[in-house]
């Protein structure tokens, strides 16, 4: 049986929606729970495929995990495995980050290399060089990273050549349980890095500078349990914001800190969108008169690569010429050909897409190739005339909890169709 998301577009969105806890904060924090034998309680955990895959991974390493509504209880009295196979890492790339906690707590790890994917080559050299500087003996053979530190890791001063989010997570986790002072220069500054650092402080590490380029970690011999609330998902928030903008609606998006949107907030104001920032979200007051925009992705606080496809979907229906340059992942344009099938006018030159706005897109059968490409097609479908059918929505399930319900809360006409069983569910029409 395969599922298809169906959207009848062309209607301005309005109303109020709450975003879930941040997927990209939940994943590293769940892995970081392996650093302690005591119970970790995480609240505001989103109900997503990637969270379920992470639970499976934790259980593989000996954790008992209990998920009740949005609260997760994790306890790992001892590590019972040191290996993460390719099938585990392939299903969830963030599994690769388990290398740091396994090495710091257990002194050994064998983790399959994640390989490239639809958005780019995604090497892990920065992770491996940093762990080697912390004294890990690392060998890569047959697609597997074999790492050991039988005497334990040692603190180090590490310079990143690029502010990789994953490598920053990896080193923060490893350093938190490595006694002594580790310094990361050129660290990623994303809100999810700050969230992980706050979690590590909650379990007993001392950390200064999270959110800045230099982070200093005073690691401890042992760490303890905690009760921790996850931040709201800024990328999910940006998705609903752009859906509202693309349909020329007005709405309130809540459950997140607007500061976490970084340069995206300036971009939408350049586009002519009037917003009011609030303590727990933003209200889009007016999106009736929009201008094209030039944007380029970069590490936080620059415009986030995870919002690039979403912004592009909205610009396809804004009169004039926009340009969007992707500077983080070399292959993150899989949405372009699908948007073109809906009538979008986009040409790609190297890493830059040139978009000429059209008055209306027309609904079509399209395919989600990755999580944000899928979300971009939802935005386009909401703005388009007629019916849009999005195949392969499992990519969306990785990052968007209760997607259809939340879109319906904004007045969207969206449903899902399970093709083989003629089990057609549609509501909100």
Question: Closest CB to ligand EPZ among 27 and 149?
Answer: 27
Question: Closest CB to ligand EPZ among 374 and 415?
Answer: 374
Side-chain-side CA neighbours of residue 132 (13 Å): 13
Provide, rounded to whole angstroms, the least separation between the CB of residue 272 and ligand EPZ. Answer: 27
Q: How many Å from the N-terminal Cα to the C-terminal Cα in the chain?
A: 24
Question: Closest CB to ligand EPZ among 9 and 374?
Answer: 374
Give the separation between CA 84 and CA 144, rounded to whole angstroms.
9
Binding region for ligand EPZ (CB under 6 A) out of 13-21, 118-126, 250-258, 266-274 = 118-126
Pick from 42, 172, 230, 328 the residue near ligand EPZ by CB under 6 A. Answer: 328
What phi and psi values does residue 419 have, to the nearest 5 degrees?
Answer: -65, -50
187 touches ligand EPZ (CB under 6 A)? no
211 touches ligand EPZ (CB under 6 A)? no
Give the separation between CA 209 and CA 175, rounded to whole angstroms.
14
165 touches ligand EPZ (CB under 6 A)? yes
Count interface residues toward ligand EPZ (CB under 6 A).
Answer: 24
Provide, rounded to whole angstroms, the least separation between the CB of residue 333 and ligand EPZ. Answer: 14
Side-chain-side CA neighbours of residue 384 (13 Å): 29
What phi and psi values does residue 197 have, to the nearest 5 degrees?
Answer: -60, -40
* CB 136, CB 104: distance < 8 Å: no
Give, as one character, the DSSP assignment of residue 11: S
CB atoms within 10 A of CB 130: 24
Pick from 13, 31, 103, 126 the residue near ligand EPZ by CB under 6 A. Answer: 126
Question: Closest CB to ligand EPZ among 127 and 416?
Answer: 127
Give the separation between CA 112 and CA 110, rounded to whole angstroms.
7
* CB 179, CB 221: distance < 8 Å: yes
Residue 429: burial class (beta carbons within 10 Å; 0-12, 13-18, 19+): exposed
Distance of CA 249 to the CA centre of its chain: 25
Provide, rounded to whole angstroms, the least separation between the CB of residue 52 and ligand EPZ. Answer: 15
124 touches ligand EPZ (CB under 6 A)? yes
Question: Closest CB to ligand EPZ among 49 and 250?
Answer: 49
Tokens encoding 423: 């089990």
Provide, rounded to whole angstroms, the least separation between the CB of residue 187 and ligand EPZ. Answer: 11
Binding region for ligand EPZ (CB under 6 A) out of 120-128, 274-282, 384-392, 405-413 = 120-128
236 touches ligand EPZ (CB under 6 A)? no
Pick from 19, 27, 217, 382 the residue near ligand EPZ by CB under 6 A. Answer: 27
Binding region for ligand EPZ (CB under 6 A) out of 62-70, 115-123, 361-369, 410-418 = 115-123
What phi and psi values does residue 324 have, to the nearest 5 degrees?
Answer: -130, 125
Concatenated DSSP letters for 315-337?
HTTSSSEEEEE--S-TT--HHHH
Tokens encoding 385: 């005339």
329 touches ligand EPZ (CB under 6 A)? yes
Provide, rounded to whole angstroms, the least separation between the CB of residue 126 and ligand EPZ. Answer: 3
Side-chain-side CA neighbours of residue 126 (13 Å): 22
Provide, rounded to whole angstroms, the least separation between the CB of residue 188 and ligand EPZ. Answer: 6
Pick from 178, 182, 305, 316 the residue near ligand EPZ by CB under 6 A. Answer: 305
Pick from 110, 122, 154, 181 the residue near ligand EPZ by CB under 6 A. Answer: 122
24 touches ligand EPZ (CB under 6 A)? yes
Question: Closest CB to ligand EPZ among 127 and 260?
Answer: 127
Question: Closest CB to ligand EPZ among 128 and 275?
Answer: 128
Binding mask 351-390 for ligand EPZ (x = CB under 6 A): --------------------xx------------------
397 touches ligand EPZ (CB under 6 A)? no
Which residues are CB-neighbours of 32 under 8 A, at least 6 positions away?
Answer: 101, 173, 176, 196, 199, 200, 203
**Nearest-5° angle of CA 91, CA 403, CA 401?**
50
CB atoms within 10 A of CB 350: 8
Of 68-107, binders to ligand EPZ (CB under 6 A) are: 94
What phi and psi values does residue 410 have, to the nearest 5 degrees?
Answer: -95, 10
Residues interacting with ligand EPZ, by CB under 6 A? 24, 27, 94, 120-127, 162, 164-167, 188, 305-306, 328-329, 371-372, 399
């Amino acid at each position: 049986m395969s599922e298809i998301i169906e959207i009848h577009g062309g209607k301005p969105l309005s109303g109020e929606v709450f975003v879930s806890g941040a997927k990209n904060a939940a994943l590293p924090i769940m892995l970081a729970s392996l650093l302690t034998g005591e119970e970790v309680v995480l609240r505001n955990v989103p109900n997503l495929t990637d969270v379920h895959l992470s639970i499976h991974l934790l259980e593989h390493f000996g954790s008992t995990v209990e998920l009740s509504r949005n609260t997760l209880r994790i306890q790992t009295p001892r590590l019972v495995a040191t290996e993460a196979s390719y099938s585990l890492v392939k299903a969830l790339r963030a599994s690769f980050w388990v290398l740091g906690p396994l090495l710091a707590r257990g002194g050994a790890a064998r983790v399959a290399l994640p390989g490239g994917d639809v958005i780019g080559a995604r090497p892990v050299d920065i992770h491996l060089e940093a762990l080697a500087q912390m004294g890990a003996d690392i060998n890569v053979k047959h697609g597997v990273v074999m790492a050991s530190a039988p005497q334990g890791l040692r603190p180090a001063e590490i310079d990143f050549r690029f502010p990789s989010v994953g490598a920053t997570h990896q080193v923060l986790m490893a350093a938190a349980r490595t006694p002594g002072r580790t310094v990361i220069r050129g660290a990623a500054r994303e809100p999810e890095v700050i969230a992980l650092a706050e979690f590590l402080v909650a379990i007993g590490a001392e950390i200064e500078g999270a959110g800045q380029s230099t982070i200093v970690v005073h690691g401890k011999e042992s760490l303890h349990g905690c009760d921790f609330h996850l931040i709201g998902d800024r990328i999910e928030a940006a998705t609903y914001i752009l859906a509202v903008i693309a349909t020329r609606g007005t709405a309130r998006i809540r459950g997140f800190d607007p500061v976490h949107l970084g340069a995206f907030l300036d971009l939408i104001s350049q586009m002519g969108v009037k917003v009011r920032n609030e303590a727990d979200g933003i209200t889009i007051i007016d999106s009736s008169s929009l201008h094209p925009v030039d944007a380029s992705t970069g590490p936080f606080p620059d415009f986030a690569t995870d919002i690039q496809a979403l912004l592009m979907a909205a610009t396809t229906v804004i009169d004039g010429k926009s340009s969007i340059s992707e500077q983080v992942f070399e292959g993150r344009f899989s949405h372009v050909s699908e948007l073109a099938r809906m009538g979008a006018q986009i040409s790609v030159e190297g890493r830059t897409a040139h978009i000429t706005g059209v008055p209306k897109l027309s609904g079509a059968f399209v395919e989600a190739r990755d999580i944000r490409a899928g979300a971009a097609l939802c935005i386009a479908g909401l703005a388009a005339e007629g019916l849009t059918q999005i195949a392969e929505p499992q990519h969306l399930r990785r990052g968007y909890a209760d997607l259809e319900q939340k879109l319906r809360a904004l007045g969207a006409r969206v449903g899902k169709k399970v093709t083989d069983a003629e089990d057609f569910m549609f509501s909100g029409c």
